[in-house]
Amino acid sequence: MKKLKIASLPGDGVGKEVVPAAQQVLKAVARLHGGLQFDFTDYPWSCEYFLEHDQMMPDDALDRLQDADAVFLGAVGNQKLVPDHISLWGMLIKIRREFEQVINVRPAKLLKGITSPLASPKDFDLLVVRENSEGEYSEVGGRIFRGEDEVAIQNAVFSRRGTERVMRYAFDLAAKRQKHVTSATKSNGIVHSMPFWDEVFQSVSRDYPAINTDSQHIDALAAFFVTQPQRFDVIVASNLFGDVLTDIGAAIMGSIGVAPAANINVNGKYPSMFEPVHGSAPDIVGKGIANPLGQIWTAKLMLDHFGEEELGEKLLDIIEDVTAAGILTPDLGGKYGTDDVTKAILKGINK
Amino acid sequence: MKKLKIASLPGDGVGKEVVPAAQQVLKAVARLHGGLQFDFTDYPWSCEYFLEHDQMMPDDALDRLQDADAVFLGAVGNQKLVPDHISLWGMLIKIRREFEQVINVRPAKLLKGITSPLASPKDFDLLVVRENSEGEYSEVGGRIFRGEDEVAIQNAVFSRRGTERVMRYAFDLAAKRQKHVTSATKSNGIVHSMPFWDEVFQSVSRDYPAINTDSQHIDALAAFFVTQPQRFDVIVASNLFGDVLTDIGAAIMGSIGVAPAANINVNGKYPSMFEPVHGSAPDIVGKGIANPLGQIWTAKLMLDHFGEEELGEKLLDIIEDVTAAGILTPDLGGKYGTDDVTKAILKGINK
Ligand SMILES: CC(C)[C@H](C(=O)O)[C@@H](O)C(=O)O
Ligand SMILES: CC(C)[C@H](C(=O)O)[C@@H](O)C(=O)O
């Protein structure tokens, strides 16, 4: 019996609705497998937790998560309770960094039965590999002068190690796919970090002669995600550029409620974390209509990560059977609830 | 007779094809007006110029442009000849900065007869007001260490003066439109510049009680440009965020070949510069198929700037008659050339 310890962090808002749904799915999948078992430990860390404890997570939070085989997270953030930069840097971004989850992998492809906002969404199937620990997201910076003369300075920090690492990860993934890597740059406008990014990309690409490459400025690339997403295979991007691209990727998939993501620890020292692209969606909390598919697809990425690719594929097939059958939440134009969609998936698994 | 001195900089690639087209249109419009005259002086500054002179523009370039009533620019850049960051910082970005063109205004709306890549592009009509002189585009930064340990640092610099200025400009424009300003932020991930941006936005918005506001993180905002562009009126954005948003704006307009832009000098010390959103498009140079509409619509923004709003509106109506009639270049799915479209516009003016 392969027993996997999963630390569940539903977090805020719809996270608390979709994580339990995906847990049920994972349990059902494990039963189907026979030799697999998920042991979930739930942690209540969230903005509500903050209101009581004045911190997003207890001091020993990371120690408690450390032994898990993976962290399974819903969503973090509720501006009404806690400013976003405090809640996110106190939990989501903290875990990403402290657990050295330096890579964020986010697939975008259109599932059967889902209507894209694009008029003719040719079959796109792309993977954004986002640097997840440095770049534009940095605590380095501050302010100088007061009043009218005040200036805020924000440093973006790109290490060769971190940049090479995310690029190699992207090339390795491309080798198993369509053998193409696109680099998201902006070296025409941003003259220190981005020419450096381009240099590292060129040097890494020399180690992968079998992989084709191109570089696109982020503005053009964002537009291509709308006009011709089918031209991409793997895209490697900085922290910020990856963030923006994957929300556009989610949009063309029909809803951000579907988009999955994996925060990967590559050195084996800490658990990886699986969390969908969407946020806590305060506007629809408690209505029972949150889309569980993003979280369930994220569970599929977790299965892949544990070497259970076959089971992962099967789960994605079942997800697609359900979308093809039109069992969709309102964000996808459907009239079903979180429970309906989850039950349909469970039925598919137990069939 | 109102005589306007226009410094024309066709620049590179298709710039050299669409600027002459738009000049013809401006001359025809002036004849129609009767009391208006454009005197164009053309300058050959470009990447080809660089190959001969080792600089994008001569030392006295800005002095020579200084007396113009406006600069009318095509496109800059040809990576095959000169690295982008050199050509752009030596010409486009240099003029924007030295001439204190601190605001970049970029409308996005769908013209009749043009097919958007969006499945149901509700009537959107939005204006991105982009900060054009500071922010993420900065020369401050550098590298430290060598080899494996190398680190590149990029500073983004946000002054209260510059941030307030672009925001006030946006609010003033919104007051003449739908009275709504959306701020593009990313304060959940970028913790120095963006919380500062939010603070300034809140303080400026207190001076405009009649204008409604909201703030959206750039990732969500980029996605909304795809899923519900009709919900926006005026969007105020930093240099980089404005850059990315306006390329998505151009994409949903059907082609980046249509999108217009104005770089505005607000203190009256230097000329403003009018240049479309598209670049030099080396792939289609010399084929006679470059879309002149972006440059011609940009000419319309220049007319507005000179207080000739009525003439500007008329020109936009004529542009729309031509698109509605299906006289479109290949980027818009048509089979017409630059000349055909230009002639159709001229015919509309002279009718
Ligand atoms: C060419 C490039 C430097 C420029 C920019 O990023 O400002 C362009 O993309 C634009 O939007 O005008
Ligand atoms: C919530 C926010 C800090 C986060 C990010 O920008 O990384 C989110 O947008 C994401 O993409 O996971």
pLDDT in tens, B290-342: 999 999 999 999 999 999 999 999 999 999 999 999 999 999 999 999 999 99
At residue B74, does pLDDT exceed 90? yes
Q: What's the pLDDT at B118?
A: 96
pLDDT in tens, B259-270: 999 999 999 999
- In this structure, which ligand is nearest to the CA of A238? 2
Q: What's the pLDDT at B85?
A: 86
pLDDT in tens, A145-189: 999 999 999 999 999 999 999 999 999 999 999 999 999 999 999
- From A255's Cα to the closest Cα of chain B, the distance in A is 9
Classify strands B125-131 and B151-159 as parallel, antiparallel or unpaired. unpaired
3-class SS shares of chain A: helix, strand, coil, % to 5: 45, 20, 35
Question: Taking CB atoms and an 8 Å limit, are A159 and B151 in contact across chains?
Answer: yes
Kindly identify which residue of chain B lies nearest to residue A199, measuring between CA atoms: B152
- From A155's Cα to the closest Cα of chain B, the distance in A is 5
Distance in Å, CA A270 to ligand 2 centroid: 20
- Look at ligand 1, atom 11, and give the residue with the nearest C-alpha: B243
Q: What value does the mean pLDDT take over residues A187-205?
A: 96
The rounded percent of chain B whose pLDDT value lies above 90 is 98
At residue B239, does pLDDT exceed 90? yes
Identify from A130, A154, A185 which residue to disrupt to test chain B contact, counting B C-beta atoms within 10 A and taking the largest count: A154
Q: What's the pLDDT at B253?
A: 97
- From A142's Cα to the closest Cα of chain B, the distance in A is 6
The answer to whether A245 and A131 are in contact (CB under 8 A) is no
Q: What's the pLDDT at A118?
A: 96
- pLDDT confidence bin for B258, thresholds 50/70/90: very high
* Three-class DSSP category at A207: coil
Interface contact A159, partner B, CB < 8 A: yes
Q: What's the pLDDT at B63?
A: 97
Which burial class, exposed, middle or buried, applies to B35 when counting CB atoms under 10 A from its CB (0-12, 13-18, 19+)?
exposed
Which burial class, exposed, middle or buried, applies to A267 when counting CB atoms under 10 A from its CB (0-12, 13-18, 19+)?
exposed
Q: What value does the mean pLDDT take over residues A35-49?
A: 97
Question: How high is the mean pLDDT of chain B?
Answer: 97
And the tokens for A140?
A: 């380095």
HSE, CB side, 13 Å, CA atoms: give it for residue B139. 9
At residue A122, does pLDDT exceed 90? no
Interface contact B315, partner A, CB < 8 A: no
Cβ-Cβ contacts under 8 Å between A and B: the total is: 203
Scanning A133-279, the segments in alpha helix (DSSP H) are 160-175, 193-206, 218-227, 239-252
Q: What's the pLDDT at B82?
A: 94
Among candidates A147, A157, A226 on the partner chain, residue whose Cβ is nearest the Cβ of B153: A157
CA dist A349 and A319 (Å) reads 10
- The domains found in chain B, sorted by start residue, are 1-104+259-351 (3.40.718.10), 117-252 (3.40.718.10)
Cα distances (Å, whole numbers) of residue B299 to A306, B31, B346: 58, 15, 14
Interface contact A132, partner B, CB < 8 A: no
The answer to whether B301 and B127 are in contact (CB under 8 A) is no
Q: What's the pLDDT at B122?
A: 84
At residue A85, does pLDDT exceed 90? no
